[in-house]
Structure 1
Amino acid sequence: MISEEQFNKEIKGIISNAIREDVGDGDHSSLACIPEDAMGKAKLLVKDKGIIAGIAFAKEVFSYVDENLEVETLIEDGSQVTHGDIVFYVKGSSQSILKAERLVLNAMQRMSAIATKTNFFVNLLEGTDTKILDTRKTTPGIRALEKWAVKIGGGENHRFALYDMIMLKDNHIDFAGGITKAIEKTQRYLSDTGRDLKIIVEARNLEEIKEILKSDGVYRILIDNFNYEDTREAVRLIGDECLTESSGGINEETIRNYAECGVDYISSGALTHSVYNMDLSLKAV
């Protein structure tokens, strides 16, 4: 996974780009009717229910826009919230609060939706040893926020991007000339370039599982689009050789059954690509 330093750099980049996109050469609505020295206070109001996420990000946004803005937090990231809850108050320059408002709401609404869905899946896995993973199926430009939200919801992050883990999927395997060749070439590449990256290899059937197991150095096998019976057999074949991950169309109706097959992880793109934003608003008080 990426380092904390890299992650923080991603967050700062998201904020600066979003403010550039939204504010441009000025928030002329506020500049036109609100005095520069006007001071105000606003509250983050919940109009929905679920897991709140993005409070720490909101603080970063407020600080970026105006370091003199003060935030009083009433509810922490990862908490269950319901309609009518007040998450935080922010006070300071009225112009600054309005400049930050839309980015804070857009981010928190989406992050809270992702955290809520992740937490729902986590609860479905309760009592098993299986953990839920996100994927790279994220919104371009705000991946760091969406993966942050998965963690807040109780899930775990898969690789962050193409650069922090090797994942040999079906197309890599086919282009490389087969599973064994793909793994051998990968290990040579890592050795030649001095990189220390974990290797995940996708299997499309039990025969491919057996072939993967002939090679050393595989961190995790991705058991992709298997039925329950074949998943159980794959887990038996793999044993303690490496970690296991199920994926491929797994939803709330099937996730528990796959977990009970004994896999270590289940990955789901739905955590980030199929959510409905939580209804939040920032209201002057």
Structure 2
Amino acid sequence: MKQQIINLVKMALAEDIGSGDVTSIAFIPETAKSQGRILTRKSAIVAGLSVVKEIFRQIDTDVLVTPRSENGTLLSSGETILELEGPSRSLLLGERVALNFLGKLMGIATLTHSYVEAVAGTDVIILDTRKMTPGWRLLEKEAVKAGGGKNHRMGLFDAVLVKDNHLASLGSDQFSTLPAIIQQCRFHHPEIKIELEADTLEQVRFFLNIKEVNSILLDNMSLDEMREAVLMRNDKASSVRLEASGGITLENIRSVAKTGIDEISLGALTHSAPWTDLSMEIY
């Protein structure tokens, strides 16, 4: 378990528990033991199991957490995600925090699964973006993978992605100076991916002539523009991958996939995923 996640769980528990669960202390004997389960109230993809284990580990090592499913599993409404056993007060201390983490992460996994299913039968890969909850990036990216998607770059450090603001910083000389800058990026970072964002087909045509480029992001292009970009890529630099992004929904994603592009990145996977409705039953 990464220290970042351990710290996130610690913070979540501290803000919820505070000085103690005054209700459980009043109603439940300190020595009481219980069993319980967490179940889904709707069809959903499982994600976040390791976080629940960490939540209850921090609360009470006497709590036993037993998963009854695996990350990436599609469950129907009413099915059990995991079972719990231990001190009753401890189970209730972790209830809301566990449901919050699971609900959010399973929501991301489930939405990702919907997009993956929408492009089934094509070779298109569904990618996430950096539009994520601060502090939750590792968890949210794992949830995307649980839903069948793949991760784009983790941050600013593990890939070169030249966007419009980077190009704007070059002023009117961007076309003449960009190839040399990209060559320097490859020299200093020989192993990492280099991707350039294109808003126009003119940019796509130019970027395809820079041999160090691995991928071109087609930003908010129409279906016809994407098809034209694919034809240019196939003719000039067949090894360059094309990624589509911007304005893509479940309603139009299959049409985008059929243009011949290789990848589709969606911020919605993480910033707009509805939480999964979950419940914890104690018995």
Q: Same fold (TM over 0.5)?
A: yes
Q: Which amino acid is 1:46 matched to?
A: T
Selected match of 2:64 from 55, 70, 78:
70
Provide TM-score, normalisation by structure 2.
Answer: 0.90
1:200 equivalenced with 2:206 (yes/no): no
Tell me the distance in 2 between the aligned counterparts of 1:203 and 1:76: 39
Distance in 2 between residues matched to 1:201 and 1:186, nearest whole Å: 10
Change (3 A) 1:189 1:236: closer
Unaligned runs of 5+ in 2: none
User: 1:190 & 1:218 partners in 2: Cα distance?
Assistant: 9
TM norm structure 1: 0.89
Select 2:232's aligned residue among 225, 228, 237.
237
Match of residue 273 from structure 1 = 271
1:60 maps to which residue?
54
Residues 180/33 of structure 1: CA separation in 2 closer, same or farther (3 Å cut): farther
Aligned to 2:213: 218
The residue aligned with 2:97 is 103
- Higher mean alpha-carbon deviation, 232-241 vs 167-176, is at 232-241
Task: Note the C-alpha offset of 1:128.
Answer: 0.5
CA 1:179 to 1:112, structure 2 compared with 1: closer, same or farther past 3 Å?
farther
Aligned pairs, how many? 278
Q: CA deviation at 1:278?
A: 1.1
Q: SS where residue 169 of structure 2 aligns?
A: helix
| 2:138 is equivalent to residue 144 of structure 1 | yes
SS state at 2:20 partner: coil
Deviations 1:138-171 (A, max 9, x none): 1222122221111101011111222222211111
Name the SS of the counterpart of 2:35 in structure 1: strand
Report the RMSD for the aligned CA atoms in angstroms.
2.1
8 Å contact from structure 1 (residues 42, 91) kept in 2: yes
Structure 1 residues 261 and 95, CA gap change in structure 2 (3 angstroms): same
